[in-house]
Amino acid sequence: MEITGLFLVAALMIASFAGLESKLGRTDRRIARVERKLDLILDHLGVHAGDPELPQVTALLREGKKIQAIKAYREATGADLKEAKDAVERMG
C-alpha cells in the first residue's frame, strides 16, 4: 500500500512539473512575440535604443575589472549573463 502511495505522489509531481514547464514555455514564446513587435514599432518610429549609459560599469571597465563590470551591468539592467557580457564588451 505504501509503495502505491509513493508511486501516486511521484506521478502527480511529474505531471505538475510537466504542466509548469509547458506554461513557462508558452510564456517565453509570448514574451518573445511581444519583444519582436516592440522592436518593429521602434524601427518604424526610427527610435534605436542603444546600450544604456552606466557610469559605474564604465568606471569598472577603465579599472580593468571586466567581471565586476558585467555583474554591475546585470544588476542595473536585469540582463542575463550573455547579454551583459556582450554589452560590456561593446562598451570596452
C-alpha cell at 13: 509531481
Q: What integer is the mean pLDDT of 34-63?
A: 85
pLDDT value, residue 70: 95
Q: Has residue 52 got a pLDDT over 80?
A: no
Mean of pLDDT values over 31-49: 86
DSSP secondary structure letter of residue 52: P
Cβ atoms of 88 and 66 within 8 Å: the answer is yes
Average pLDDT of the chain, as a whole number? 87
Confidence at residue 59, expressed as pLDDT on a 0 to 100 scale: 93
Of residues 91, 63, 87, the one with CA closest to residue 75: 87
Domains of the chain by residue range: 1-49, 50-92
Based on the number of CB atoms within 10 Å of its own CB, is 38 exposed (0-12), middle (13-18) or buried (19 or more)?
exposed
